[in-house]
Structure 1
Amino acid sequence: MSSKAQLGFNASWSMAVGGMIGGGIFATLGVVIEVAGAWAWGSFLIGGLIALATGHSYAALTVESGKPGGVYRFLREQQHERIARWTAWILILGYTLTVAVYAFTFGAYAANALGGPAWMPQGLAVASIIVLAGVNLLGVGEASTLEIIAVWGKIAILAGLAIFGLSQWDAGDLAIPEQPGWIGMVIGAGTVFMAYEGFQLLAYDYDEMADAEKLLPKVMPASILTAIVIYIAVSLGAPMLVGAEAIVEEREVALASAGRAALGMTGFILVTIAAAFSTASAINATLFATARLARSVASEGEMPAIFAKTDKAGVPYVGVLLISGVAIFLAVIGGIGELVKSASVVFLVVFALVNAIVIRRAIGQLWIAWAGCLGASLAATILLAHKLGMI
């Protein structure tokens, strides 16, 4: 264990929740409602249950290994070096896609509040990545402190919005013109997986955690359960304020409109602040862990050695800068829907693989791993078929 370890339960939980909720509800709500309609809440529930099962597998494997690295580490320990190397590259691509999604969402909400020229959303997206990369370069202490503040702030605002909406319950507000059936809920469950990937970042922060062997099995399910509750509450409460159809039409800034409907300009400002906190903390958490994944893989010769370079404080600054640069490019050229779905496919495949490793190694609760493996595989297949226009 690193002598620099300083992430306790609150900081670790905040890093995981920040990685999930930041992109989860602000970036995906409109996308999920578009494909699942009134069953969007079911999509978040199904996705959350698969994530919960996978969190169990991640914790069991990471504790057994006693090292950071996540699925990459698990595969290497089984002597699958080539698969491990390709999996690491795929994961880094997936995380870079999520940073782009978070930045895209940050730019959309901030520009919607500030007004300005057409280039402002992209400009603010770029600025958010640059600033948060700078925070990461300062080191773990600064990054974790920001995470704790941001996470508690956004949870308070999102919970207030959800409660206000639910107090005005009208089931008709959940419907959209072309209401999907149950298959839409399953497609939506696949789509939301980018919203749940944040918990696995903890597997890469193992050496940064205090008493990780005891902490990890507690903090992973706690963070996932927090995300499930928030997602379901907001997916039911927000449509009560503006209607599901409006959320789909304004999906890039939908919750800001819901906030305005709830509390006028005050609500609009509060939700915009929550969006800024959420996306900023998600960028921060994802950059923090992804750069450390790249450092770990590079130190073992499975990636270019440049990713293993660190500064005097041990921060993998080259990885932070390279990942940030690619994310900036994707945020400028990408569209929110395709970025979300592409990232979700990546993480579904990884989730299925992690659960399969647990089954093969016979550790933890095998029935949970089987549920996670089958659920992730099915969701990945359906989402990929949907992306290809087959369903």
Structure 2
Amino acid sequence: MGSLGLKEAVAMALGGMIGGGIYSAFGIVVAISGTAAWVAFLVAGTVAMCAGYSYVKLNEHTDGNGGAPTFVREFVGWDTLAGMIGWTLLFGYIGSMALYAYAFAGFFSEMLGRLHFLGVPVANVVSAFLIAVFVGLNLLGASETGKAEDVLTFAKVAIIGVFGLWGVWYAFNGHTLAFGFDEVLTPSPVVGAAMSFVAFQGWQLLMYDQGQFDDPVENIKTAIYVSIPAATLLYVLVALTTVSLLRLSVIAVAPEVSLLYAGIEFMGRIGAFVIGLSALFSTASAVNATLFSSAQFSRDLIDMGLLPERFGGGDGDIPKKIVVVLGVLSAAFAVYGSLSSITSFASLSFIAVFGGMSWLTFRKRAEFDDVSAAIPLVGVVGTVVFFPLLLYNLYVNSPGVFYTVVVISVLVVGSELFYFEREPLEELLPWMSTEGENR
């Protein structure tokens, strides 16, 4: 039995969502959905809640860590699919870390000015440096503890909660509170919901080290059921505040720091500075937590034979080589990617996996007895709508981003197929044989 309880589980799940998502993907979702952004977050939160329910039910009927790959191996018995899902999640975490680092650099640059270092925009330098710092810390074995996460998450929630409630009250008294009802029935809130999905993925990191919790199945279940609605409520409040106090044209110009500008409107420069500091701390913390959890997840994949053994750290240690690989790829995304491309790629990864787990739960509902068919079905329908709609929106409005995301996705899927279907390919193409080499 682990030493962490329900409070720590809720703190980790909630901190994993709002810690990075509120300061990273938020602005671009508002830029897409306009004054109906609160609807986008409500829709995304509903679909995420259905996915969370599906994860809980699958977890109740399995033993051990691993999350989605474990579920697929247990209930489908197809290692190739389990491995591809595991790799897809890893690339989703890479996108998430890049997104958090991008947001950190955006707030850092905005608060200190648009500086350059050796001719390179300081935001790019800061993004790469931030990830490098946490790669180093994780290689040394440093990580957030559950008790510390309680305090840190309380601070994050308190700051964002004050911002949202105060902002809505201020907008209401100033008669500027905007609900965007005329946009609710348009496609934009659904597109925004799809784009925001990366902001709702932090809870499933609980699945990767369940042994640290006392009564893990029950505590993780309760933590998921509490954290997703709480995060959704915070996103809705912040969305109402931001679109009511800022012109959409201002948000579109600098979506990654829109909360900073909104804070100036009613909290003054000191209040906005507090928001900025919270953003810096939260996004940095999110990079570290995601990197640490991704390394734990990678260790599980190696133990399951779904990642090459050469990446392992030995004796159950955090696999150091994979930490470096994750860090390098995340830094490359953060430096060379755009906010839209990073957010889109990460969200698409989680949409695909969460939809798959909802479908698996729906299929197994008769075997589990205690599963409501409607909840996972809503998760399936939501993700099936999100995935093509997000791609179509990118194709129409941001073709450059669309082709970037498609190329990256093809490379990811191609590498997955190449690894997991290598033996059949070697039979067809003998020159590919790597006999004697660890896969």
Q: 1:11 to 1:175 in 2, by over 3 A?
A: closer
Displacement after TM superposition at 1:97 (Å): 0.5
Q: 1:180 to 1:212 in 2, by over 3 A?
A: closer
Would the aligned equivalents of 1:173 and 1:243 in 2 still touch at CA under 8 Å? no
Q: Which residue number corresponds to residue 98 of structure 2?
A: 100
Displacement after TM superposition at 1:323 (Å): 1.0
Would the aligned equivalents of 2:176 and 2:245 in 1 still touch at CA under 8 Å? no
Q: 1:125 to 1:390 in 2, by over 3 A?
A: closer
Structure possessing the higher radius of gyration over alpha carbons: 2
Gaps of 5+ in 1: none
Q: 1:135 to 1:365 in 2, by over 3 A?
A: farther
* Structure 1 CA distance for aligned equivalents of residues 259 and 267 of structure 2: 12
Q: Which residue number corresponds to residue 426 of structure 2?
A: none
Displacement after TM superposition at 1:271 (Å): 0.5
Residue among 152, 155, 167 paired with 2:154? 152
Residue among 88, 107, 110 paired with 1:109? 107
Q: Which residue number corresponds to residue 387 of structure 2?
A: 380
Q: Which residue number corresponds to residue 48 of structure 1?
A: 45
CA RMSD for the aligned pairs? 2.4
Residue among 240, 262, 266 paired with 2:244? 240
Residue among 237, 246, 252 paired with 2:256? 252
Q: For residue 388 of structure 1, what is the amino acid of its counterpart?
A: Y
Q: 1:278 to 1:142 in 2, by over 3 A?
A: closer
Alignment pair present for 1:63 and 2:63: no
Alignment pair present for 1:306 and 2:310: yes
Q: For residue 377 of structure 2, what is the amino acid of its counterpart?
A: W
Q: Which residue number corresponds to residue 82 of structure 2?
A: 84
Q: For residue 369 of structure 1, what is the amino acid of its counterpart?
A: P
Q: 1:141 to 1:330 in 2, by over 3 A?
A: closer
Alignment pair present for 1:347 and 2:350: yes
Q: 1:310 to 1:258 in 2, by over 3 A?
A: farther
- For these two proteins, the number of residue pairs brought into alignment is 386
Alignment pair present for 1:369 and 2:376: yes
Q: For residue 83 of structure 2, what is the amino acid of its counterpart?
A: R
Would the aligned equivalents of 1:47 and 1:190 in 2 still touch at CA under 8 Å? yes
Alignment pair present for 1:288 and 2:292: yes
Q: For residue 153 of structure 1, what is the amino acid of its counterpart?
A: A
Between the aligned residues of both structures, percent identity stands at 30
* Structure 1 CA distance for aligned equivalents of residues 322 and 295 of structure 2: 5
* Structure 2 CA distance for aligned equivalents of residues 135 and 174 of structure 1: 44
Return the TM-score normalized by structure 1.
Answer: 0.92
Would the aligned equivalents of 2:28 and 2:256 in 1 still touch at CA under 8 Å? no
Alignment pair present for 1:330 and 2:333: yes
Kindly provide the CA deviation profile for residues 252-285 of structure 1, in whole angstroms up to 9, marking residues without a partner as x: 2111112222222211210111101221222122
Displacement after TM superposition at 1:390 (Å): 8.4
Q: 1:345 to 1:187 in 2, by over 3 A?
A: same
Q: For residue 268 of structure 2, what is the amino acid of its counterpart?
A: G
Residue among 183, 190, 194 paired with 1:186? 190
Displacement after TM superposition at 1:174 (Å): 4.4
Kindly provide the CA deviation profile for residues 128-163 of structure 1, in whole angstroms up to 9, marking residues without a partner as x: 222333444454764435533332222111111112
* Structure 2 CA distance for aligned equivalents of residues 248 and 148 of structure 1: 34
Kindly provide the CA deviation profile for residues 139-192 of structure 1, in whole angstroms up to 9, marking residues without a partner as x: 47644355333322221111111122111226756499x979620011111111
Q: For residue 22 of structure 1, what is the amino acid of its counterpart?
A: G
Would the aligned equivalents of 2:103 and 2:256 in 1 still touch at CA under 8 Å? yes
* Structure 2 CA distance for aligned equivalents of residues 6 and 316 of structure 1: 24
Q: 1:113 to 1:201 in 2, by over 3 A?
A: same
Would the aligned equivalents of 2:92 and 2:349 in 1 still touch at CA under 8 Å? yes
Would the aligned equivalents of 1:59 and 1:217 in 2 still touch at CA under 8 Å? yes
Q: Which residue number corresponds to residue 6 of structure 1?
A: 3
* Structure 2 CA distance for aligned equivalents of residues 257 and 191 of structure 1: 22
Displacement after TM superposition at 1:6 (Å): 3.4
Q: For residue 182 of structure 1, what is the amino acid of its counterpart?
A: T
Would the aligned equivalents of 1:66 and 1:213 in 2 still touch at CA under 8 Å? no
Q: 1:390 to 1:30 in 2, by over 3 A?
A: closer
SS at match of 1:65: coil
Would the aligned equivalents of 1:205 and 1:292 in 2 still touch at CA under 8 Å? yes
Return the TM-score normalized by structure 2.
Answer: 0.82
Displacement after TM superposition at 1:35 (Å): 1.5
Q: Which residue number corresponds to residue 316 of structure 1?
A: 319
